[in-house]
């Protein structure tokens, strides 16, 4: 039987309970799908920072890159744990994305039945956040720099076109389309990003290349989301727009993310660790579970991935999809109840599918 080594980073706040939910769903999927998952736990997040002064356990980065087939991470970062400079201390994202060179942050935004099905491709290793821990300033002023390199832009734009080539196009018209989102009317770094986008787009004549300023894109993600297929953008813009998109499909609690490099990949919800919900059995586990589905796609188990997505579509209550904001909860039940229903749906449907001639 095919066995995959999977790293697990529970994170903090609601992270541990979400990872428990995802492990239950993954285990049900593996059983029904005839493959095995060997889970390896790792420390990470604000808890680790508090007792060890680092965001990640010793050797974890190397194990994620060299040993595990993929890693599933819970949200991490307690807002009250701060570095002396005022930035948040428990945040693992920077350490993992930079440390693994996980340059592509793939954020699908999908609403089953509402004609919203696009993917934000967020550059993950440069842009404005290249200045993480590196801004300069004094008591009068501070500055952070926005870094756009040719190599960094080429690889993220290529990733976006490859993704678009494997999809069915925008829900509105079925056209495969990649939209470059920037503020090239204002900043030279963004004009450079757009120039490189145009160069790479020329290698993909079958896919429509579009351009949009980030402010206009934010507006259209809300007013006509069905026109979008794949969007590619600089790190900071992607951070903001992925939350905008989430607000249109039932909240951040519905939105997963993949962080992909050439040597490693890890998967997480797009939301934070919601410390106020921790331990209340009320956080929405959908984003974490959908992140697990993305991981199965990456591992080469697309049937399992699809079974998870179908189960979430069937179980995540219509009320939630219709507009609940933030991470808050399956209106019809608890985190654990919702997870059990998803597991049951997978077990019955995957077994049914396997039984068919
Ligand atoms: C995200 C988060 C992270 C980011 C934080 C937690 C570092 O907001 O993944 O979108 O800024 O990228
Ligand atoms: Mn964010």
Q: What is the CATH number assigned to the segment(s) 1-114+249-357? A: 3.40.718.10
- Is 231:120 a contact under the CB 8 Å cutoff? yes
The model's pTM is 0.94
Ligand 1 site, CB within 6 A: 77, 91, 93-94, 239, 270
Which helix (H) or strand (E) segment is 163 a member of? helix 150-165
Distance 353 CA to ligand 2 centre (A): 37
Minimal-distance CA residue to ligand 1 atom 5: 93
Cα–Cα dist 352/357, whole Å? 10
Closest ligand 1 atom to the C-alpha of 235? 12
Task: Please tell me the predicted confidence (pLDDT) of residue 61.
Answer: 96
Closest ligand 1 atom to the C-alpha of 257? 9
Distance 178 CA to ligand 2 centre (A): 22
Cα–Cα dist 323/328, whole Å? 11
Over its C-alpha atoms, the chain yields an Rg (Å, rounded) of 20
Ligand nearest to the CA of 257: 1
Residues 161-176: pLDDT tens digits? 999 999 999 999 999 9
Per domain, the residue ranges of the chain are 1-114+249-357, 147-232
Residues 262-291: pLDDT tens digits? 999 999 999 999 999 999 988 999 999 999
- Lookup: tokens for 58: 């010793």
CA distances from 348 to 32, 66, 81, 222, 332 (A): 8, 35, 43, 36, 21
CA atoms within 13 A on the CB side of 298: 26
The Cα angle at residue 214 between residues 270 and 252, in degrees rounded to 5: 20
Residue in the structure block whose two tokens are 């989430």: 246
Residue 207 has pLDDT above 70, yes or no: yes
Minimal-distance CA residue to ligand 1 atom 9: 270
Distance 239 CA to ligand 1 centre (A): 7
Distance 36 CA to ligand 1 centre (A): 31
Higher per-residue confidence, 248 vs 355: 248
Least confident of 53-57, 164-168, 193-197: 53-57
Cα–Cα dist 274/72, whole Å? 18
Closest ligand 1 atom to the C-alpha of 75? 6
- Is 271:255 a contact under the CB 8 Å cutoff? yes
Residue 331 has pLDDT above 80, yes or no: no
- Give CA 177 to chain center in angstroms: 20
């Amino acid at each position: 039987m095919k066995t995959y080594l999977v790293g697990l980073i529970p994170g903090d706040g609601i992270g541990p309970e979400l990872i428990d939910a995802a492990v239950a769903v993954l285990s049900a999927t593996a059983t029904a799908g005839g493959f095995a998952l060997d889970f390896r736990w790792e420390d990470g997040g604000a808890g680790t920072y508090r007792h060890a002064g680092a965001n990640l356990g010793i050797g974890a980065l190397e194990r994620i890159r060299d040993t595990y087939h993929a890693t599933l991470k819970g949200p991490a970062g307690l807002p009250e744990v701060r570095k002396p400079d005022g930035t948040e201390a428990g945040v693992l994202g920077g350490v993992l994305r930079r440390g693994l060179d996980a340059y592509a942050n793939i954020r699908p935004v999908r609403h089953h039945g509402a004609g919203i099905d696009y993917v934000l491709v967020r550059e993950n290793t440069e842009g404005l956040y290249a200045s993480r821990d590196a801004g300069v300033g004094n008591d009068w002023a501070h500055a952070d720099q926005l870094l756009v390199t040719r190599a960094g832009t080429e690889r993220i734009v290529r990733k976006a076109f490859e993704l678009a080539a494997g999809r069915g196009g925008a829900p509105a018209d079925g056209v495969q389309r990649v939209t470059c989102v920037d503020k090239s009317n204002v900043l030279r770094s963004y004009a450079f990003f757009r120039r490189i986008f145009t160069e790479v787009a020329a290698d993909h004549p079958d896919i429509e290349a579009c351009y949009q300023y980030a402010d206009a894109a934010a507006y259209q993600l809300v007013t006509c989301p069905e026109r979008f297929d794949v969007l590619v953008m600089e790190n900071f813009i992607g951070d903001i727009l992925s939350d905008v998109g989430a607000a249109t499909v039932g909240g951040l609690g519905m939105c997963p993310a993949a962080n992909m490099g050439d040597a490693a990949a890890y998967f997480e919800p797009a939301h934070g660790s919601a410390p106020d919900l921790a331990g209340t059995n009320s956080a929405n586990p959908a984003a974490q579970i959908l992140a697990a589905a993305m991981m199965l796609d990456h591992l080469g188990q697309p049937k399992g991935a699809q079974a998870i997505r179908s189960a979430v579509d069937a179980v995540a209550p219509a009320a939630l999809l219709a507009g609940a904001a933030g991470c808050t909860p399956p209106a019809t039940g608890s985190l654990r109840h919702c997870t059990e229903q998803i597991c049951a749906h997978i077990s019955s449907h995957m077994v049914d599918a396997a039984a068919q001639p």
